[in-house]
Chains A and B, each alone.
Chain A
Amino acid sequence: MDTALLASLDGEGKKKLERAIATLQGDVNAASGVLYVDPKLRLEYSRRIKAMSDDLYAKASRGIISWEKAAEEANQTRNLLMELIRYRSTPVGKALAQKMKAQGKTLNELIAYKTKALYGDKVNFNNLSVSQKNAVYSAVVQSAGKSNHEVNIKMQRLSGAGRGLIFLSLAVAVYQIYEAEDRVLETQRQLAISSAGIAGAWGGGALAGLMCGPGAPVCVVIGAFVGGAIAAWEISGFWD
């Protein structure tokens, strides 16, 4: 990197520039944190609902539990897992998940939906034979193991972008450490900037979420960026 431009800056100007770079690093770290955490949680969610559904399917197939019971458990566990993953998401992920009021199907509606899909419009579930009813319950259990495929693909792509940002952030940190007179001190400073950026963004996002109410992703993203930038700026100043 050509540092001739930096040479013309006086000590004060150089410090300001370093703090500005730290601010940018803080936000890059925050963005990479979001792009790391939410896709990872998404993968966990997809795996857990599939494992839950497969487990209940196997139990019902072996006669350990009834198909009806398996469908009830799948419905309850699926909703619980969704809440759990939402709870663990970053403020940005949480705001995106809360942007709309869901209009899901109750278990009975789901049974009616699957009855229609399997046996046609005019069939009443109560008039089905036991084996037909079990086929409907089994379809409900299998549905509980499915996640939105398009969201999964998008999350995979975001995860790739997150890895790219982590690489960028690491490259900048390594360069700064390499160029520093006191590399131990600079390493500590870089660690502090990264941590502050992520923590600041998390706090800023959460605070914005409280101020704007649930389901306001744009507000939360702005809060996260401002929080990450302020935290990184302040921590960088503390080091000076």
Chain B
Amino acid sequence: MFKLLDNVTLQLREEPTPTSMGKYEVLIAGKGTGIMVPVQVIEAAVQVDDKRLLLFLTDDVPYEEALKIALLDLNEGVKEILTLGGAYLTGSFMDLNIQPNAVEFSFIGDTTWRVEIPAMPFMKLPFIGDPRGVSRPPALKHYIKITASPAPARFDGSR
């Protein structure tokens, strides 16, 4: 059952450089986990089960903010990170709604985004299957399911 956590913080471990992202360690109740994420602000932290966390992260760039959705396994580290947004676009993380097995929120595209963690990892072809504006690194197994209802709006409001 999903649960909102308020004791998850980040601590800078490596400064970003012109060619690489920064490294920020995830702390739970002030204790280091050894797990690094690439951006610095936690918008929300949600417990998925006794060993997994979902983090909603931004990078303090309010004029061109992208949202990173990271699934962490406390034993195995980062399982998957999705990015929502892109160049010359910005969003605001709002309307967080935590359900027993899903998280809903708004960020960009004038829609409600829904994130679920299926019981089993799943396969998907790169570049297709996710709603517009979502990107994720190609991999054999994926862990985060994301949907948007209604379909995300384009620049001119069309869907």
Contacts and interface: CB of A to CB of B under 8 A. Distances in A.
A82 interface: yes
B113 to A, nearest CB: 11
Interface in B14-55: 16, 18-22, 38
Most chain A Cβ neighbours within 10 Å, of B83, B86, B133, B156:
B86
A58 B29 CA distance: 39
Contact of A144 (B63, B108, B133, B154): B63
A100 B108 contact: yes
Given A146-B61, A147-B61, A85 B91 contact: no
B91 A110 contact: no
B90 A143 contact: no
B62 interface: yes
Contacts of B123: none
A216 B155 CA distance: 10
Given A99-B86, A143-B62, A215-B154, A109 B132 contact: no
B157 interface: yes
B92 A143 contact: no
Contacts, number: 126
Interface stretch (A4-12, A24-32, A149-157, A184-192): A149-157
Given A110-B62, A143-B62, A100 B86 contact: yes
B154 A101 contact: yes
A148 B155 contact: no
A125 interface: no
Contacts of A156: 18-19
Contact of B107 (A103, A149, A216): A103
A100 B154 contact: yes
Contacts of A101: 108-110, 152-157
A26 B150 CA distance: 40
Contacts of A151: 64, 66, 86-87
B63 A99 contact: no
B122 to A, nearest CB: 23
Interface string B56-90: 00011111111000000000000000010111111
Interface in A35-52: 42, 45, 49
A102 interface: yes
Interface of A: 42, 45, 49, 78-79, 82, 85-86, 93, 96-105, 109-110, 113, 117, 143-144, 146-153, 155-156, 213-216
Given A100-B133, A109-B92, A150-B66, 11 more contacts: A49-B63, A82-B64, A99-B133, A100-B109, A100-B155, A110-B62, A146-B60, A151-B66, A155-B87, A215-B132, A215-B158
Which 6 pairs, one residue from A and one from B, show the smallest C-beta to C-beta distance?
A: A215-B154, A98-B155, A101-B153, A97-B88, A148-B64, A104-B90
10 contacts: A49-B63, A101-B108, A104-B91, A104-B92, A109-B92, A148-B85, A148-B87, A151-B66, A153-B18, A155-B87
